[in-house]
Amino acid sequence: MQHEIPIATSGPNADSMSEAVNTCIRCGFCLSACPTYDVLQRESDTPRGRIILMKEVLEGSMPAEQAAPHLDACLGCLACEPACPSGVSYRHLLSPYRALVHDRVRTAWPQRLRRWLAAQTLPYSGRFRLAAKLGIMTRSLAKLVPSSLRPMLELLPSELPSRSTLQPSYPALGESVGRVALLAGCAQQVLAPQINDATIAVLTHIGLEVIVPPKQGCCGSLAWHVGDGKRASAFARHNIAAFLAREQTFDAIVTNAAGCGSGMQEYEMILRGTDIETKAAEFASLVHDVSLVVAEHADRLRLRRPPSLRDGESMLRVAYHDACHLANAQGVRLQPRELLCRIPGVELVDVSESHLCCGSAGTYNIDQPEVASELGRRKAKAVLATGAPVVVSGNIGCLTQLQTHLQQSTSAGHPVPRVMHTMEFLRECLDD
């Protein structure tokens, strides 16, 4: 059955939104892949249910407010895409839909406050550092903080790592095989600056020159994820200018946070119908996750046994967690695993229910703390069941969520598994 969306009211992405709705045959194969259906057990919180809700709003037969709780509860994890036999491109419906209704839906004040605080701090590393310091200082007084804001405090580490200043460029070690530009990220620079250091060490080790364009900013993914199209467009424009205005050309724009990478790959969608749509498409085609870039040059890696492997131990068990925005949004599943398997003495193990999101999903764990916590607990349990002392992933949001829930779920007297970015683990094993 074909359904027509009134294109004139559906914005510049109307065609792809319409196609996504028309491609859904309502078969329900996506239900078992959807984490929110798993937790909430309601048809309206399934991919199929949400597609129908969005269609009704776009056709004018349902107010956006009525559909909002179910669309807000969607993680945007895209686990529904690989599960769909009909090839529904859910991403081409959800994000533009959220941007279309963003100014029409009035959210409850606790959610508005959390979103406002996240939007005003996370994309700006200076502000976020100050806010995080304040949050850490007041955590012991959590009872005095409004309950709606406590989930934000829970995600903060016990202390912030020291600041790491990036240089504008890093030469390749040995023979140069190319040049890449690095997205430095915003919140990640505050929470885990060692991830950029490790990324640069690995990239230069394999012979890539790394440029860090100095005027770059937040990629805009956090804003795009909650439907704030205006802010997402402004961030996208800023970064396109910062990365492409230089005289140097790059083989790739490298990201080491899956959420940022998938958002930047959607710049064409964010800026569709604007004067720089073509440039946005050119930019998006250059964006690649670091694991993909390193895997292309994997023969140049010189690797040794993990330093945490003690004398007499032959193998270190390492669990790999698929970040949804890497596995589902970018289709990157094999490359990080291949890189880890190259390390002598590493036994790679998968985490059960790997299709289930950990609950991080951009600012979802701030926005929808109950569902996020349930998913975080389940993921921590699955990681602990592997018995691995290390869990590796490619997204700062997942790493933060895993750290929080592993600390809460590990039994007293047992060590909490180390949570590391793929590049951090790889760097530890570089034989320089």
Which residues of the chain form contacts with ligand SF4 (CB under 6 A)? 24-30, 33-36, 47-48, 50, 74-80, 84, 86, 88, 90
CB of 377 to ligand SF4, least distance (A): 17
Residue 287 parent element (H or E) = strand 287-289
Comparing CB distances to ligand SF4, the nearer of 86 and 285 is 86
The token duo for 409 is 């779920």
Distance between start and end Cα atoms, the chain: 61
Q: 321 to each of 105, 292, 338, how far by Cα in Å?
A: 35, 16, 14
Neighbours of 206 (CB within 10 A): 21
CB of 58 to ligand SF4, least distance (A): 16
The whole-angstrom separation of Cα 218 and Cα 34 is 29
Comparing CB distances to ligand SF4, the nearer of 1 and 137 is 1
Comparing CB distances to ligand SF4, the nearer of 96 and 417 is 96
> How large is the angle between the packed helices 277-286 and 229-244, nearest 10 degrees?
70
Comparing CB distances to ligand SF4, the nearer of 53 and 105 is 53
CB of 350 to ligand SF4, least distance (A): 19
CB of 197 to ligand SF4, least distance (A): 32
Find how far residue 260's CA is from the centre of its chain: 6
The token duo for 113 is 């406050």
Comparing CB distances to ligand SF4, the nearer of 12 and 76 is 76
The whole-angstrom separation of Cα 157 and Cα 170 is 30
Any idea what the Cα angle at residue 176 is, between residues 171 and 182, rounded to 5°?
50
Contacts of 360 (CB under 8 A, 6+ apart): 372, 376, 395, 397, 398, 400, 401
The whole-angstrom separation of Cα 369 and Cα 173 is 44
Q: Rounded to the nearest 5°, which phi and psi values hold at 182?
A: -110, 130
CB of 361 to ligand SF4, least distance (A): 8
The token duo for 314 is 């032959």
Comparing CB distances to ligand SF4, the nearer of 4 and 347 is 4
Q: Check: CB of residue 229 under 8 Å from CB of residue 99.
A: yes
Amino acid at 215: K
CB of 379 to ligand SF4, least distance (A): 14
CB of 378 to ligand SF4, least distance (A): 14
Comparing CB distances to ligand SF4, the nearer of 30 and 346 is 30
Give the burial class of 312: count Cβ atoms within 10 A of its Cβ; 0-12 exposed, 13-18 middle, 19 or more buried: exposed
Contacts of 285 (CB under 8 A, 6+ apart): none
Q: Check: CB of residue 193 under 8 Å from CB of residue 209.
A: no
CB of 342 to ligand SF4, least distance (A): 31
Comparing CB distances to ligand SF4, the nearer of 49 and 229 is 49
CB of 207 to ligand SF4, least distance (A): 38
Cα torsion 49, 55, 59, 64 to 10°: value is: 60
Comparing CB distances to ligand SF4, the nearer of 36 and 221 is 36
SS3 of residue 414 by DSSP: coil
CB of 89 to ligand SF4, least distance (A): 10
Comparing CB distances to ligand SF4, the nearer of 13 and 36 is 36
